[in-house]
Each structure stands twice: as C-alpha cells, then as structure tokens.
C-alpha cells in the first residue's frame, strides 16, 4: 500500500507540474520580432518592435511600413488593430515598426528622458516633465535624421518594403514630433496620424514652423489625420483646430487633411480610437467631416 500511495502521489505531482507548465506558457504576439539598432546621430540605443505579414518572405510582395513612436504602448495595440482590419480586407497588409528605448517600459525616468530628447524640435528650459528633463530637449532634428538616414534604410534593407510608402504615428510629444516632420521634411512620410500633439511646447513653436513652411513654399504631398480628445485641456483642442485651420487655409491640393475630436476621451484615453480611425482614414478610407469644432461620435 505505501508503494501505491507513493505512485499515486508521484503521478499527481507530475500532473500538477504539467498543468503549471501549461498555465505558465507565455503568450507571444505572432509574426513579431525585436531588433536592436544603435544610432550614430543621436548616440542612443533603440529597440525596434517589428510586426510582419504572415508568409511575407515567400509572398514576393512589398509592403507599406507604418512607423510608431512610444512603442511600449503603441505597438501591440496598433498591431492588433491592423490585424483585425487586414483579415477583413479593410486595410492592406503592412509592416509595423515601433521605436522603443531599452528599459523604458520598466523605468519612467528612462521613458521621460529619451522622449524629451528625441521628440522635441527645439530646446526649451522649462515645461514638459520639468527642468531636469528639459536639459536634454531639442534633439528632434537629430532624431528626424536618424529616422531618415539610419532607421528607414535599415528597415528597407531587412524587409520587403514598398519604397517611399511610409506612415508615421505619434501621440502627445510624439504628435509634436510628427507635426514637426510634417512642417519641415514632409516627404519623409506619405501619411501621418497625429494624435493630441503638444503644440503648446516652447511657446507654440510649431505655429512659427508652420508660418515658415508657408513662407518657404513647403507643400506637403501627403494624407494627414489629426485627432484630439474632447475632454483634454482646452488648449489642446484649440491649438489643434488652429493648426488644422492654418494648413487648410493654404489650399495645398496634394495635402489631404482629416480631423476629429473624440467625444468623451481624455489625453490618456484618446489614442486607441484615434489610431483606429486614423489608419482607416489615411489608407484611403472616407475622411471625417471637416467641421472640426463640433465633436462627432466614433462608431
């Protein structure tokens, strides 16, 4: 009997270990990888979160590329949104590339310092996360150059990309950077999704850049979707409306602008709905109404 009890106990232990092992198996997002890339221009190390279409290596196709900032919250969400619409033929297959900072997901200080350095177009002594972080601000030009001369060629060499068919998604400080690129080097991307951009930064320097772009004859040939939450601080929505108005007033035929105020959304909650509607809009889906002052309801 003791031997039988021992055998039963051993079998139960093995069953329990197998069950625990099955439960502990991590979920892996299909068709994704993480690639390290060091930039000589910014001096920083980056992690690239990449999602590819299934079977892309054997398909013989080339794919548009969507680049995202703030990878730690934008990547998995956007990847699942894209997969949902691709499977239902509402979006084309595409490659997703999100730019991350090693350690930023676990350390807010790393997160704040890196995005302050890369996403701000000019140095400003105050504002943002505080004076200590602002000491590294103003690296937007180097980060833009990193994307143009290091990141894009790296991705184009490694994956079957449709050359020139690129989209940029940015939120908050990331939206500020995306606006900066739109106003200074718009040809870098074919499409822009700009969510709640920090247009207040450096005494609204983005508006000075828009004036300079108009004066210098910079005419973006691109499709842009702007979004903001109705419950954000009033200056966020007011500034966004002013920027959209200024760009539309220039009457650039090849610049297509969609804009939406998301009712019931705050700065930290607007991104999921905005990126969903933004993708459908910039990839040739019907654009939202131009009457931006009155919020319309998301479907």
| Residue-level pLDDT at 214 | 96
Report the share of the chain in percent with pLDDT over 70.
87
- Is residue 91 a contact partner of residue 81, using CB atoms and an 8 Å limit? no
Average pLDDT over residues 24-41: 93
| Residue-level pLDDT at 77 | 97
**Neighbouring-strand partners of residue 49:** 34, 98
247: its two tokens: 């760009």
Order the strands of the 255-262 sheet from edge to edge.
32-38, 45-51, 95-100, 63-68, 161-171, 191-195, 222-229, 255-262
Would you place residue 15 in the very low, low, confident or very high pLDDT band (cuts 50, 70, 90)? low
Q: pTM for the whole thing?
A: 0.88
Sign of CA dihedral 287, 292, 298, 299: negative
- Is residue 79 a contact partner of residue 96, using CB atoms and an 8 Å limit? yes
Average pLDDT over residues 144-165: 97
| Residue-level pLDDT at 5 | 58
Would you place residue 135 in the very low, low, confident or very high pLDDT band (cuts 50, 70, 90)? very high
| Residue-level pLDDT at 299 | 32
Q: Is the pLDDT of residue 239 over 90?
A: yes
Q: Is the pLDDT of residue 289 over 50?
A: no
CA atoms within 13 A on the CB side of 3: 0
- Is residue 97 a contact partner of residue 65, using CB atoms and an 8 Å limit? yes
- Residue tagged 């701000």 (tokens): 120
Q: Is the pLDDT of residue 22 over 80?
A: no
| Residue-level pLDDT at 298 | 36
pLDDT digits (tens, 9 = 90+) for 106-120: 999 999 999 999 999
> What is d(CA 3, CA 90) in angstroms, rounded to the nearest whole number?
63
Domains and CATH numbers, the chain: 31-282 (3.40.50.1820)
Query: pLDDT: is 16 or 131 the higher one?
Result: 131
| Residue-level pLDDT at 291 | 45
pLDDT digits (tens, 9 = 90+) for 165-218: 999 999 999 999 999 999 999 999 999 999 999 999 999 999 999 999 999 999
> What is d(CA 222, CA 189) in angstroms, rounded to the nearest whole number?
7
Average pLDDT over residues 236-261: 96
Dihedral class, residue 264 (left if φ above 0, else alpha if ψ from -120 to 50, else beta): left
**Neighbouring-strand partners of residue 46:** 37
Query: pLDDT: is 99 or 295 the higher one?
Result: 99
Would you place residue 284 in the very low, low, confident or very high pLDDT band (cuts 50, 70, 90)? confident
Mean pLDDT of the chain: 91
Report the share of the chain in percent with pLDDT over 90.
85
């Amino acid at each position: 009997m003791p031997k039988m009890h021992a055998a039963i106990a051993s079998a139960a232990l093995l069953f329990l270990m197998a069950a625990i092992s099955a439960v502990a198996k991590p979920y892996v997002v299909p068709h994704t990888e993480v690639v390290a890339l060091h930039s000589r221009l910014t001096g920083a190390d980056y992690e690239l979160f990449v999602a590819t279409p299934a079977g892309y290596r054997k398909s013989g196709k080339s794919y548009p590329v969507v680049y995202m900032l703030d990878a730690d919250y934008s990547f998995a969400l956007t990847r699942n949104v894209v997969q949902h619409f691709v499977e239902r033929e509402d979006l084309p297959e595409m490659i997703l590339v999100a730019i991350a900072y090693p350690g930023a997901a676990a350390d807010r200080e790393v997160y704040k310092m890196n995005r302050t350095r890369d996403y701000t177009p000019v140095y400003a002594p105050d504002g943002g996360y505080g004076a200590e972080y602002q000491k590294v601000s103003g690296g937007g030009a180097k980060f833009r150059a990193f994307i143009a001369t290091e990141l894009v060629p790296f991705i184009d060499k490694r994956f079957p990309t449709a050359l020139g068919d690129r989209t940029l998604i940015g939120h908050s400080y990331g939206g500020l950077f995306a606006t900066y690129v739109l106003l200074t080097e718009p040809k870098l991307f074919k499409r822009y999704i700009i969510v709640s951009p920090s247009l207040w930064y450096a005494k609204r320097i983005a508006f000075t850049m828009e004036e300079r772009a108009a004066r210098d004859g910079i005419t973006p040939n691109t499709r842009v979707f702007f979004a903001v939450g109705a419950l954000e601080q009033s200056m966020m929505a007011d500034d966004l409306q002013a920027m959209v108005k200024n760009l539309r007033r220039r009457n650039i035929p090849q610049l297509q602008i969609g804009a939406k105020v998301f009712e019931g959304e705050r700065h930290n909650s607007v991104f999921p709905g905005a990126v969903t509607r933004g993708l459908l809009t910039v990839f040739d889906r019907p654009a939202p109404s131009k009457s931006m002052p009155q919020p319309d309801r998301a479907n």
